[in-house]
Amino acid sequence: MTFILQLPQALKDFDKFFVGYDDQFNRLAKLHDDLTKGIPNYPPYNIRKTSDNTYVIELAVAGFGKQEIDITLDDHIEIQDAALVNGMLKIALERIIPEHKKPKKIEVKEKESKTIKKEFLVEDAE
């Protein structure tokens, strides 16, 4: 509990560095709103990653029948399951990675170091 009470005291001097930046924040927020205004958001959807190569897409398609829905995918994506329940279309996908694009484990070999044996003949200096 003492940490929570001490946190505002530790940050009390930082507010003087942010004076005048409210306008900058408001302009950035307006820019974001303007840029995302043209992005279509219908139908509402969620994309969830369930594992490294599998995903579930959920689309709210209330008012559409099965005969009105057509799913087209990229070459490297395979549909595992698709179900329309109470206006919610759930599509389970798996991304197929071709063998030549999968990461390869390369074994690093250690070469044996050659031992060089040198012999010297020493003559007696008498």
Distance CA 78, CA 100 (A): 18
Phi, psi angles (nearest 5°) of residue 28: -65, -40
Residue 112 lies in a domain: no
Residue 19 lies in a domain: no
Would you call 25 helix, strand, or coil by DSSP? helix
- C-beta separation of 61 from 89 below 8 A: yes
Helices (H) and strands (E) in the chain, counts: 2, 4
User: Taking Cα atoms as reference points, which of 112, 64, 103 lies closest to residue 84?
Assistant: 64
Task: Give the domain CATH number at 56.
Answer: 2.60.40.790
Q: What is the pLDDT of residue 2?
A: 41
Residue 78 lies in a domain: yes
Residue 8 lies in a domain: no
Residue 65 lies in a domain: yes
Number of domains present in the structure of the chain: 1
Residue 81 lies in a domain: yes
Mean of the pLDDT values across residues 90-114?
A: 82
Q: Alpha helices of 20-114 — where are they, by DSSP H?
A: 22-36
Q: What is the pLDDT of residue 92?
A: 93
Tokens 């946190």 found at: 7
The more confident residue out of 68 and 29 is 68
48 lies in which domain range?
A: 42-104
Tokens 């924040």 found at: 25
Least confident of 36-40, 50-54, 78-82, 109-113: 36-40
Residue 117 lies in a domain: no
Residue 109 lies in a domain: no
Q: What is the pLDDT of residue 119?
A: 67
* For residue 36, pLDDT beyond 60: yes
